[in-house]
Structure formats: structure tokens, C-alpha cells
Chains A and B, each alone.
Chain A
């Protein structure tokens, strides 16, 4: 199966700071998604972004499919942004049923 590497594993920010989270894939993927897991465990969909760039408020994401990586940008961070951020994708080759492989996540802590 594919390997999904997320960096950094941990990130501590002061409120108002900007950050970039990265996701590397060992093979080409589609169905690439970014999630935020809140303190209660709920995964919140941030972006479905197989390629290109999308923006939603203070968050934006860019996927360069040919280079097998994706970036999540958080601007003007707030304490409510704290939590774990996951990326996940489905390999282009092989597999079925849209199975997603998850990275290990980035634990973001935003201090007031």
C-alpha cells in the first residue's frame, strides 16, 4: 500500500500566526482529502482536493498531483484551530471502493 507522510508531527503556534502543513504520498493518489479532528473526535472535512488550489476562509490547500504532495495553509490561526489535521488519499493504481489511506496527522496547538 501507499505511504502517507505528514509534517510536522507537532506544531505549536501563537494566536494570529500562519502555518503550513504538508502531506507527501509514496505513490500517485486521487480522492485526496484534508480533515480536522476536533477534541471530541469528529473528523471535519476541510478540503476535497485531488489537484489544484482551493480556499475556504482562513484555510487554503494546494495539491500538486504530479509531485505527490499536498499543502494545507492556515492563516491568522485561532485557538479553535487546535486539534489534529489529517490528510488521506486513495491510490490511483489498484484498490477499489474508494479506500482512503491516512497519514499520522499533525497535532496543532494554538496558544492565546
Chain B
């Protein structure tokens, strides 16, 4: 149980285009999902908290107009990188907590590797 999927697992796009990444909780419902970014050989940096049915909460320094987050249902959150540039190339990871789980344990997706050329 407690499986989180991401799609796509990797994507290459041209500079100036937009890319959408999906995060799904497969066997549980999540009112809150999280989006992280990880650069090579570094730790995970929280970008934003995705709240079902309401606006996302962005961390300081993260451009909300560039990283659009939509949490349309209890099992799906999407991250859209708009007008992507090479500096947006990174590994993006989502996580979710089972809203009916007995603990606050979070489960992570396998990540999406974005390369902007």
C-alpha cells in the first residue's frame, strides 16, 4: 500500500515550452501533496504544498507563476513548469500523506527528471 506514482519519469523539452508533471496517490487519498526539487548530489528542497481544492502554498523564493500547481482531486496533483529554461532542469519529486492514515508518514513518488535544452 501507500504508493505514489509520477508521470512522466523523464522529459526533455525545448526552452520556452511548458511541461506538466503528474503526481498520483494510487491506493489512498491525499488532501495535501508536496513538490520538491533536487539538484545533483544535493538534498530535497520543498517547492510548494499542494492543497486539494484550494491554492498551493509556495516556499519563499519559488515563483508561483512559473511553477503552476493544481490539486484537482484527492489523488492527483500536477506541477506545470511554464516557459521552461535550462536552469529549470532538475529532478522533481512529489510526496503525499494518507489523509486516513494513523500517522503523518509521507510517501514519495519516483521522481521526474526534466531536461530543458
Contacts and interface: CB of A to CB of B under 8 A. Distances in A.
Interface of A: 30-31, 33, 35, 40-43, 45, 48, 86, 88, 90, 97-105
Dominant SS among interface residues on chain B = strand
A97 B43 contact: no
Interface in B83-117: 91, 93, 95, 97, 103-108, 110-111, 113
Interface of B: 2, 32, 34, 38, 42-44, 46, 49, 51, 57, 91, 93, 95, 97, 103-108, 110-111, 113
Contacts of B95: 43, 100
B52 to A, nearest CB: 11
Dominant SS among interface residues on chain A = strand
Given A41-B91, A42-B110, A99-B49, A48 B105 contact: yes
A33 B110 CA distance: 17
Contacts, number: 56
Given A41-B111, A42-B111, A104-B43, A97 B57 contact: yes
A40 B106 contact: no
Contact of A99 (B43, B46, B110, B113): B46
B108 A42 contact: yes
Contacts of A97: 32, 49, 51, 57
Contact of B105 (A45, A86, A105): A45
Contact of B34 (A41, A45, A99, A103): A99
Given A35-B108, A48-B104, A99-B49, 19 more contacts: A31-B104, A33-B106, A40-B111, A41-B91, A41-B113, A42-B108, A42-B110, A42-B111, A43-B108, A45-B108, A48-B105, A88-B44, A97-B32, A97-B57, A98-B97, A100-B46, A101-B46, A102-B43, A103-B43
10 contacts: A31-B103, A31-B104, A40-B110, A41-B110, A45-B2, A48-B103, A48-B105, A86-B44, A97-B57, A99-B46
